[in-house]
Chain A
Amino acid sequence: MRILLVDDDQPLTEILRQSLIEQHYAIDIATDGEAGWEYACVFDYDLILLDVMLPKLDGISLCERLRARGHQMPILLLTARDTSPDKIKGLDAGADDYMVKPFDLEELAARIRALLRRDSQALPAVLKWGQLSLNPSTCQVVYGDQPLQFTPKEYALLKLFLRSPNRVFSLSAIIDSVWSAEDSPGEDTVRTHIKGLRRKLKLADAPPDLIETVYGLGYRLKSHPTKPISSNSSSIANEQTNKQTNKQSEASSESMPLTSKGASKGAPNAGPIGQTEVLKESSSPISKALSIPLTKKQTEASTAIAAVWQQYKAQIISRIEALEQAIRHLAAGQLTDEHQQKAQQAVHSLVGTLGTFGFAEGSRLARELENHWRQTTPLESNQSKLFEMLASALRQEIEGAPTGEFLQPTRQGCLRLLAINDLTLQTPFSDIAPAASKIHIEFVSSLSQAREIMDQQSQDAVLISISFASTGSDAAISPSEGLVFIQEIVGQTPSLPVFAVIDSDRLADRIEVIRHGAQACLPQPVTPDQIMASVMQALGKSNSGAKVMILDDDPHLLEALQILLAPWNFKLTTLENSTRFWEVLMQVNPDLLVLDVEMPDVNGLELCQLLRSDPHWRQLPVLFLTARVDAETQRQVFAIGADDYMSKPVVAAELATRLLNRLQRVQSLRR
């Protein structure tokens, strides 16, 4: 976590620096408003502590300026003035919180933690991954009940990963987040710290690969563990069921919005997102968009339905019994057609009734069972273990009163996206706000579940993660399975847009995916925003692609960018010859310009300066793409008024994100 402190009171900044460093934050200090502005433009801060009375540029104006430029990090104002008008002015300028000097350091620390939590879409107070928990307020890390000791940097690293599950951090992103500008280390140092962190995790019997290496990209938190520690026996069937139940309950927490209780019921070890975290997720945009508060009448109806349940409970249980009987016959190898048919009818009816009573999870379990029983291949006796588990989970589900969880209704005008084996959108803290209110996402973990859902409900778009790097041992979908599936569903519904997220950069792999009928191929890592942008684009729900113009003298790079950026549907104009720059610029009238710094005929920085002095192009967002990584170039780039900066080699997903962010900010400013 990196914090910028803008304050000219030196004794105070010294105390604050000490205190914040003790809490493992990386701190940069600016002593006047202009310097604060420059820092904030060059580095990504997680939070800004801002004094109101500052030389050169006062804190309120700086705050306004930051907000106007689209900076969204939390800002906490520090001031000596304790009057309401001052506070109101500060908050109206876009500050998130306010503290009056002299203040209590502990209180400041707590407020900082609260703001940082808010910034991460309601992160829980304690960060968890399986049995590992990190408490930011006490800086304590515990695995199971064993406390772990880390160095401050290891601690900061662990916190960084836990706060952003599924995000891949490049080494430079890690340095930016964990180290301050003045003690920025070399990449080897970061690797050493990660090694240290892994070693200590291993010593505590925690999974050392908790921090995964993503080859060529960086590091990330390992995603979705199944049960972190399985108690004793773990037959294959057992594990499978646990996995499925966990996945199901996670999925249900996304798609069953009308409740706040029991989201993880039936799955006490629900993967990396412990129960509290799932519940706290309510402020994430997607659940917010889907959480329609119940009206008074609906609440009353819900209570009445729970009462009616008592009348039908015995009848429902008798169906589960019929199912259990069939499972016993199956285990004994004595399953007759009659038994099987009876069980099939029982589960079919359970799907409908349980869902109607508000046992969403029960309904899902029944659906899973129904899917198995409906299989065309004869059931094998060794499948009975899995069925037993499911049936017993089903029994557990209906033991109590209805949970009041209803499956997401088929809303008219609501688009349906089926996400298969996808972890990107499923990340609970992901911000997919723009699309969320219009899209209902259903998560499934296997192709068979996907087929089943598609049998029951037509989809507007399908997202599938295919692993080219898979060893075949895990739950990943292999290219052969995935491509056949794509071909199959596109064959059935040619208009159905299918998006494939793949973990391969090879052009041949992408072509293969597209050849099988996918609409677009999104290479990992990809953010939820990027996925949603593609989906919305394909469904014609977003504005036509933004016009992006790229000027670079390297034809190979331009060609590569055309291919790399294809999934994001920008209207791309690439230009190699800088002498035609103005002519093409006028013609295209782009929404965003990407410039190289060094080109044969012209210097990109000078071009940008010219644009900034031209009334017509002054507002055009400019992003620099350059091989130069020195601080001086960076400084120059921002000094002449560029909006963003990225060093080569280009990571497509990162570039796309930066472009999208920039365009989004421009749009919000226009509004």
Chain B
Amino acid sequence: MSTRRILIIDDEEAILAVAKLSLKMVAEWDVVTATSGPEGVIKAESEQPEAILLDVMMPQMDGISTFKQLQANAKTQAIPVILLTAKAQAVEQLQYKQIGVTGVITKPFNSLTLANEMAELLDWRL
């Protein structure tokens, strides 16, 4: 099986670094990163990841707008998206589900089990 590729979009570089490291080491996934929504949309198209981990709170373009752009693009609309959010109120979670995100992981996440959580949401086997 070829290595799975993941795109992480987050404006916080420290978080990108940790998540990347963790997913690489724990799940042996190939990780590409983007520090903003617009960069993320471009990389999603060019890198064609199997899943996207997307931060909700970002300056410029927030996670929801980014997600909508990804959905509007035929080349990226099929890629499952997991939102990274500090606010995971039931109501909001439901809204996220309704707009079509695959799942939500709350921040701060547990770096060591991040891969497991993602795999569970994506129905992947680790």
| A residues whose Cβ falls under 8 Å from a Cβ of B | 258, 292, 294-295, 297-298, 300-302, 304-305, 308, 311-312, 315-316, 348-349, 351-358, 363, 406-412, 454-458, 493
Contact = CB atoms under 8 A, between A and B. Distances in A.
9 contacts: A301-B22, A305-B18, A305-B111, A312-B13, A312-B14, A352-B12, A358-B111, A406-B111, A409-B113
B110 A409 contact: yes
B42 interface: no
A258 B110 contact: yes
A409 B25 CA distance: 18
Given A294-B112, A355-B107, A315 B25 contact: no
A418 B27 CA distance: 31
Nearest to A295: B26
A117 to B, nearest CB: 31
B18 A356 contact: yes
Interface stretch (B46-54, B65-73, B83-91): B83-91
B72 to A, nearest CB: 28
A314 B114 CA distance: 25
Contacts, number: 109
B117 A308 contact: no
Contacts of A408: 110
Contacts of A295: 26
A316 B87 CA distance: 22
Contacts of A351: 86, 107-108
Given A406-B110, A456-B87, A493-B90, A353 B26 contact: no
B108 A352 contact: yes
A312 B106 contact: no
A51 B18 CA distance: 60
A295 B126 CA distance: 12
A225 B67 CA distance: 49
A356 to B, nearest CB: 5
Contacts of B14: 312, 315-316, 353, 356-357
Q: Which 5 residue pairs spanning A and B have beta carbons closest together?
A: A355-B108, A458-B90, A406-B110, A301-B25, A409-B110
Nearest to A357: B18
Contacts of A301: 21-22, 25-26, 111-112
A493 B87 CA distance: 16
Contacts of B108: 351-356, 363, 406-407
Interface residues of B, number: 32
B15 interface: yes
Contacts of B86: 348, 351-352, 456
B87 A455 contact: yes
Contact of B26 (A297, A352, A455): A297
Contact of B21 (A305, A316, A455): A305
Nearest to B93: A458
B64 interface: no
Contact of A456 (B88, B109, B111): B88
B17 interface: yes
Contact of A410 (B15, B17, B22, B105): B105
A61 B25 CA distance: 54
Query: Which of B12, B19, B113 is the most central at the interface, judged by chain A CB atoms within 10 Å of its CB?
Result: B113
A308 B18 contact: yes
B121 interface: yes
A457 B88 contact: yes
A408 B110 CA distance: 7
Given A297-B25, A298-B26, A357-B18, A409 B109 contact: yes
Contact of A356 (B15, B87, B120, B121): B15
A606 B22 CA distance: 68
Nearest to A258: B112
B121 A412 contact: yes
Query: Which of B14, B19, B22, B106 is the most central at the interface, judged by chain A CB atoms within 10 Å of its CB?
Result: B14
A406 B17 contact: no
A356 B109 contact: yes
Interface in B11-64: 12-15, 17-19, 21-22, 25-26, 57
Contacts of B120: 412
Given A300-B25, A409-B109, A412-B117, 8 more contacts: A297-B25, A297-B26, A305-B22, A348-B57, A353-B15, A356-B19, A406-B110, A458-B89
A406 to B, nearest CB: 4
B96 to A, nearest CB: 12
A175 B32 CA distance: 67
B17 A308 contact: yes
A304 B21 contact: yes
B19 A410 contact: no
Contacts of A355: 107-109
Query: Which of B12, B18, B105 is the most central at the interface, judged by chain A CB atoms within 10 Å of its CB?
Result: B18
A358 B50 CA distance: 27
Contacts of B87: 455-456
A514 B103 CA distance: 35
Nearest to B108: A355
A349 B110 contact: no
Contacts of A353: 12, 14-15, 108
A305 B17 CA distance: 9
A312 B15 CA distance: 10
B62 to A, nearest CB: 14
B122 to A, nearest CB: 11
A637 B98 CA distance: 61
Contacts of B111: 301-302, 305, 356-358, 406
Query: Which of A311, A352, A412 is the most central at the interface, judged by chain B CB atoms within 10 Å of its CB?
Result: A352
Contacts of B57: 348
A353 B15 CA distance: 6
B112 to A, nearest CB: 4
Contact of A352 (B15, B21, B93): B15
B126 to A, nearest CB: 10
B2 to A, nearest CB: 19
Nearest to A316: B14
Nearest to B113: A409
Query: Which of A297, A355, A356 is the most central at the interface, judged by chain B CB atoms within 10 Å of its CB?
Result: A356
A302 B120 CA distance: 21
Contacts of A357: 14, 18, 111
A351 B12 CA distance: 12
Contacts of A308: 17-18, 21
Given A300-B25, A455-B89, A312 B110 contact: no
A296 to B, nearest CB: 10
Contacts of B22: 301, 305
Query: Which of B13, B21, B90, B105 is the most central at the interface, judged by chain A CB atoms within 10 Å of its CB?
Result: B90
Nearest to A364: B108
Contacts of B113: 258, 292, 298, 406, 409
Given A305-B111, A358-B111, A410-B106, A349 B88 contact: no
Nearest to A458: B90
Contacts of B109: 355-356, 407, 409
Nearest to B11: A349
